[in-house]
Amino acid sequence: MISAVIFDMDGVLLDSEPYHDQTTTSILESYGAKGAYEAIRPYVGRSSADLWAAMKVKYDIPASVEDLIELQWKKNVAGIPDSGLERSEGLTELLDFCHEKDIHIAVASSSRRDYVEAVFDHLNLWPYVEVFATGEEVENGKPMPDIFLLAATRLDVDPERCLVIEDSTAGVQAGRMAGMYTIGYDNPTSGGQNVNAADVVIKSLNEVPKII
């Protein structure tokens, strides 16, 4: 029986992957990088440290990984209020469904805490989400299961009673490794991520209540 739903954030709670792509490619292009969009595809859902360590080597960027991460998140946080980003279709109904059924709600995002909080403010998610975990809080990012296990611990719910909703290849792998029932959200704005390793694949969040 499912007692908790753990949401990935970007690409699940909101269609924000293109927003991230724009920020990241603009930084890379400022260093003269070519083919930046395709280069960052394998890093969707993974930590900023993984992304920028790889990009620094690939494009011989003189800035430190730490400085690149800081620039990325400053840009992301600053742009949220005017981004026009909205809740994903079906999200409000799903959150209400979980509340009605006394199902716990958590968010496990590879993003940084200040960005997660900015998104929660922008989308008014605070009344719904009990706990959240961020990429900077775990030693190993997705596709390792650490972040989902941390969220489950904070909810005090056994992993096998948790359901994960993910839109990225790395996130689906992490959910499965955590021993949680994993839904792959085939979101067309998430850059063609392969989520077929999930227990079930959906095209819309409107499908989730029937699965639960």
Q: Which of 8, 10, 146, 167 is catalytic?
A: 8
Which helix (H) or strand (E) element contains residue 165? strand 162-166
Residue 39 near residue 58 (C-beta atoms within 8 A): yes
Q: Pick from 89, 106, 110: which is nearest to 204 by CA?
A: 89
Q: Pick from 3, 19, 8, 2: which is nearest to 191 by CA?
A: 19
Active site annotation includes 8: yes
Tell me: cis bond preceding 18? Omega within 30 of 0 counts.
Answer: no
Could you give the CA distance from residue 63 to residue 95 in angstroms, rounded to a whole number?
41
Assigned token pair, 56? 């620094």
Could you give the CA distance from residue 19 to residue 74 in angstroms, rounded to a whole number?
13
Assigned token pair, 63? 């800035």
Which positions are annotated as active-site residues?
8
